[in-house]
Amino acid sequence: MRAMVLEAPGRPLSNRERAVPEPGGGDVLIEVEACAICRTDLHIADGELAHPSLPLILGHQAVGKVVSVGDGVSDRAVGERVGVPWLGWADGTCRFCRSERENLCPDARFTGYDVDGGYADRLVADARFCLAIPDAFGPLEAAPLLCAGAIGYRALRLAGQAGRLGLYGFGNAARIVTQVALDRGREVFAFTRPGDERTQRVALELGCAWAGGSTEPPPEPLDDAILFAAAGDLVPLALAAVAPGGTVVCAEIHMSDIPSFPYELLWRERVLRSVANLTRRDGQELLEVAARIPIRTQTRAFPLEQANDAIEAARRGSPESIVLVP
């Protein structure tokens, strides 16, 4: 099979030929149809997330069809289209797994980090952690839902259900979350890089009530806010924008240091919390909600062998989700 392989942080991916992996017990072998690029992939490639399993095939927003199943697999069938998200395995026995918090499992393995991901023709994954893709979506449209969508959905669930929601950083995840929030009758306020009028126009066209720079105060106090930008200095700004009793959720896996801020910003029962990974429930619920709304994702496809160009396009920022197609 063909694969784009990270051999060392900071280096371009290498185009390699590898033997097609065999599915072990409980696994499925998937013919990859599309794999969306996530900012987490950039953090791994740049060495900002420590100890990836090198050499490594990146990619944790992979969609494809099952071509063979390992022993003991009964809930996935050959020909079924599935998605492979970031959470690739959890032990199922620790106190976190037993309390429906498998995303916090201390022995969890992550796709495209601990085990090979979807920047390839073929992918082996634990059948239990594959997500059924609704018929409403083709591979390109479904791929961004597996992380940008699912992590955003978890962040939205943890943020609370009040009316005014602020989104700091208006990339793939924010565009998907906006559609879910609007479907639930919430007002959405989009915060972008200062002066980024193009992204602000995208936000307003999507239905946001307001769009402005991340350093601007919103026209009204927010009830909750989600940070999709990896900039710790936005945390005090978001806390200042949130009304008493509101929640600020940091949804990035990697963030620059949060500067010190006065206790007054946190006082009056404001909550500051993070989101770590996702559960299978998050992923499956998001896919079901996305099919019902239906959520629309805008994508830009690159051939697999142009993965390095695709990564740079994602790094520059785009109103579209960048997707690799084998």
What pLDDT, on the 0 to 100 scale, is given for residue 160?
A: 84
Residue 188 is predicted with a pLDDT of 98
pLDDT tens digit string along 148-205? 999 999 999 999 887 999 999 999 999 999 999 999 999 999 999 999 999 999 999 9
Q: What does the DSSP 8-state code read for residue 65?
A: E
Taking residue 318's Cβ as centre, other Cβ atoms within 10 Å add up to: 16
The sign of the torsion formed by the CA atoms of 70, 68, 87, 131 equals negative
Q: Is 243 exposed, middle or buried (0-12, 13-18, 19+ CB in 10 A)?
A: middle
CATH superfamily, with its number, for domain 150-274: NAD(P)-binding Rossmann-like Domain (3.40.50.720)
CB 293 within 8 A of CB 273: no
271-323 tens-digit pLDDT: 999 999 999 999 999 999 999 999 999 999 999 999 999 999 999 888 899 99
Report whether CATH 3.90.180.10 matches the domain 2-147+278-325: yes
- Region(s) of the chain under CATH 3.90.180.10: 2-147+278-325
State how far the alpha carbon of 35 is from the alpha carbons of 58, 77, 84, 307, in Å: 10, 21, 9, 10
DSSP code, position 71: T
Residue 317 is predicted with a pLDDT of 82
Percent of the chain with pLDDT over 70: 100
User: Mean pLDDT, the chain, as a whole number?
Assistant: 96
Which residues partner with 16 through β-bridges? 3
Going by C-alpha positions, the residue among 137, 135, 161, 165 that lies closest to residue 149 is 137
Interval 33-60: pLDDT, tens: 999 999 999 999 999 998 999 999 999 9
The reported pLDDT for the residue numbered 63 is: 98
Helix (H) or strand (E) holding 139: helix 139-142
Q: Two tokens at 316?
A: 């520059």
Picking from 109, 133, 103, the residue whose alpha carbon sits closest to that of residue 32 is 133
Report pLDDT for 318. 81
Q: Is 268 left (phi over 0), alpha (psi -120 to 50) or beta?
A: left
The string of pLDDT tens digits covering residues 78-124 is 999 999 999 999 999 999 999 999 999 999 999 999 999 999 999 99
Portion of the chain with pLDDT greater than 90, in percent: 96
pLDDT tops 90 at residue 144 = yes
| 242 within 8 A of 248, measured Cβ to Cβ | yes
Query: Mean pLDDT across the stretch 219-241?
Result: 97
In the chain, which residues fall in CATH 3.40.50.720? 150-274
Instruction: Quote the longest CA-to-CA distance of the chain.
Output: 58
Task: Kindly state the tokens that stand for 239.
Answer: 């806390």
Distance CA 269, CA 244 (A): 6
What does the pLDDT read at residue 319?
80
Type of residue at 38: C
